[in-house]
Amino acid sequence: MQFPNAPLVAPDLSPLPANEAQRLQALWTSQLLDTPPEPDCDALVRLAAQTLRMPMAWLALADADRLWFKARMGFDLTEMQRAIAPCAHTLLRPDQPLIVGDLTQDNRFAAQPCVLGAPHWRSYAGVALVNAQGHALGTLAVASPMPCAFSLQDAANLHDLGLLAQDALDKRRLTQQLIHMSLSDPLTGLSNRNAYHQALQVELAHAMRCGEPFSVLCMDLDGFKAVNEGFGHAAGEEVLCEVARRLREQVRLGDVLARFGSDEFGVVMRRGAQESAQALAKRIVQNVSAPITLSSGDTIGVGISVGIASYTDDIDSTVTLLKHADQALFQAKQQNEKRWKMFVGIR
């Protein structure tokens, strides 16, 4: 049995699934968009083209207004306007493939740029990639510049390949989640000690090659023990999350902000010389010291002490640099009037 063309209907240039908002949220949460090419996705696209005997194939993710090609063969586009692609219609019925033997005979697609011009799709077969929650994140599809007749077996093969493609995306997402969990603090969402030390190693290696300055900050809350003892550990966690939020507001994009545990935090300030690090420390002390209102309605206050160490030619390891920052932090805790200290070495 062959699939006929879809019936002629009035064109709809921007069809949207009923669950579009939830679908987009699932897609963005997956962190699959704009990721580098991967061998398993490329292999699936080649297999789809070979199995259905088509010269063009792709695995695409459907963003709000674009169709982004995670893997493709037979054409050069990296993305296209979602509304004009047949895949936009494939998302509407994620439970069945969309098969169109001749796009020029279907009013939904006949006048579209992808049919009239490059990549010159004349026939199309696509299946939605549906995650475990039922959201169609994208499509696996094939196309040809010639009209084609697709069989029921072709549709079944495409369905099976779509399941394999979704499984590959799920495994990648799970891997990324595990990596993120291993490098992040579960309470605040900041980087953890492992991520901090990785960033520090990279920055030290760069500085040793190029001589570009950078700084590290080690920080410790003042008065946090009293919050835990007076208001309980739940209140303490609220304080830590609020402090983390305030710290995020102060660090620059590209700097690595981490929580080491309990009430200890750190920053790897990339391309940050002493003056920039001191200015950051001053802002942090002022910002964190502002009163914090708990969900209980109680208002409390904590302070923060900051120790700073900057890279110089004398630094030979991350251990040395962190030792200097810890020494500066110890000195900062002894002086209540400023609460931050730059390591200046032995005189």
Instruction: Tally Cβ neighbours within 10 Å of residue 70.
Output: 27
Is residue 340 very low, low, confident or very high in pLDDT (cuts 50, 70, 90)? low
Closest C-alpha to 148, from 6, 2, 7:
2
Query: What is the reported pLDDT for 345?
Result: 54
DSSP class of 117: S
pLDDT at 324: 94
Phi and psi angles of residue 171, each rounded to the nearest 5 degrees, phi first: -65, -40
Average pLDDT over residues 239-250: 96
pLDDT score, position 180: 74
Average pLDDT over every residue of 52-72: 97
- For the segment 107-114, the average pLDDT, to the nearest whole number, is 94
For the segment 185-202, the average pLDDT, to the nearest whole number, is 93
Whole-angstrom Cα distance, residue 57 to residue 50?
9
Is residue 263 annotated as a catalytic residue, yes or no?
yes
User: Per-residue pLDDT for 245 more than 90?
Assistant: yes
Burial of 96 (0-12, 13-18, 19+ CB in 10 A): exposed
Tell me the three state secondary structure of residue 26. Answer: helix
Residue predicted with more confidence, 209 or 156: 156
**Is residue 12 scored above 80 in pLDDT?**
no
Q: What is the mean pLDDT of residues 84-111?
A: 95
Indicate if the pLDDT at residue 301 is higher than 60: yes
CATH code given to domain 193-342: 3.30.70.270
What confidence score (pLDDT) does residue 347 get? 33
**Distance between CA atoms of 181 and 196, rounded to whole angstroms?**
14
- Whether 3 shows a pLDDT value over 60: the answer reads no
Average pLDDT over residues 194-205: 92
- C-alpha distance from residue 335 to each of 244, 277, 304, 329, 341 (Å): 24, 19, 12, 10, 9
Residue-range domain boundaries for the chain: 20-179, 193-342
Give the pLDDT band of residue 21 (cuts 50, 70, 90). very high
Mean pLDDT score, 267-283: 90
Q: Is 76 exposed, middle or buried (0-12, 13-18, 19+ CB in 10 A)?
A: exposed
How many Å from the N-terminal Cα to the C-terminal Cα in the chain?
89
Please state, in angstroms and rounded to a whole number, the distance separating the CA atoms of residues 46 and 33: 20
Tens digits of per-residue pLDDT, 132-155?
A: 899 999 999 999 999 999 999 999
Answer yes or no: is pLDDT of 119 > 80: yes
Residue 172's pLDDT is: 84
Residues 83 and 113 sit within 8 Å (Cβ to Cβ): no
Quickly list DSSP for 227-268.
Answer: HHHHH-HHHHHHHHHHHHHHHHHHSPTT-EEEEEETTEEEEE
Single-letter code of the amino acid located at 274: Q
User: Mean per-residue pLDDT for 83-87?
Assistant: 94
Q: Is the pLDDT of residue 337 over 80?
A: no
Lowest mean pLDDT among 32-41, 72-81, 175-184: 175-184
What sign for the dihedral angle of Cα 200, 201, 206, 212? positive
Report pLDDT for 7: 37
Q: How far apart are CA 123 and CA 114, in angstroms?
A: 11
- Entry pTM: 0.61
What pLDDT score was predicted for residue 342?
67
Asked if the model's pLDDT at residue 338 lies above 70, the reply is no
Q: How far apart are CA 193 and CA 132, in angstroms?
A: 33
The pLDDT-based confidence of 336 (bands split at 50, 70, 90) is low
Rounded mean pLDDT, 323-334: 91
Fold of 20-179: Beta-Lactamase (3.30.450)
Alpha-helical regions (H) of the chain: 20-30, 39-51, 87-90, 113-116, 152-182, 193-210, 224-231, 233-250, 274-288, 318-334
- On average, the pLDDT of the chain sits at 90
Q: Write down the catalytic residue from 42, 263, 298, 316.
A: 263
